[in-house]
Amino acid sequence: MTVMVAVTDSPEGRNALDSAVAEARTLATDLVAVNLTLGSLDLSSAGDGVNVQVVDRSGREDRDPVEAVLDEIDSHHPDRLVIGLKRRSRVGKALLGSVSQRLLLESPVPVLAVKPEAGS
């Protein structure tokens, strides 16, 4: 079993990473972190007990992040994908096109979508 997380350079991305580490720890499994940030991934929150493999986004700089994550799912065959969601208004929920929404709809594996705690 493997857990995969899509990590963006945002509070939601950091929350997804923290949640994915907790999920991997609970399941006693490995974690694959797809780095969608523009820099190196800070894994200091992972601590001990979780084997984390970082996969940096490859290809063109303007490559679609959803396609990058879906390609990594095809390569690593995780059992679930963890993504971070923004808290959105009712109107915002009606808008299409976000990376998270596309991953929810297009992922071939179950998705664990996490939101930041209220007030965060």
Percent of the chain with pLDDT over 90: 53
CB atoms within 10 A of CB 37: 15
If 0-12 CB within 10 Å is exposed, 13-18 middle and 19+ buried, where does residue 45 land? exposed
Model pLDDT for residues 64-117, shown as the tens digit of each residue: 899 999 999 999 999 999 999 887 666 665 555 588 889 999 999 999 999 877
> Are residues 73 and 109 in contact, defined by beta-carbon separation less than 8 angstroms?
yes
Query: Which of the 8 DSSP states describes residue 116?
Result: P
Q: What is the value of pTM for the model shown? A: 0.87
pLDDT at position 97, please? 54
In the CATH scheme, what is the code of domain 2-114?
3.40.50.620
> Are residues 69 and 103 in contact, defined by beta-carbon separation less than 8 angstroms?
yes
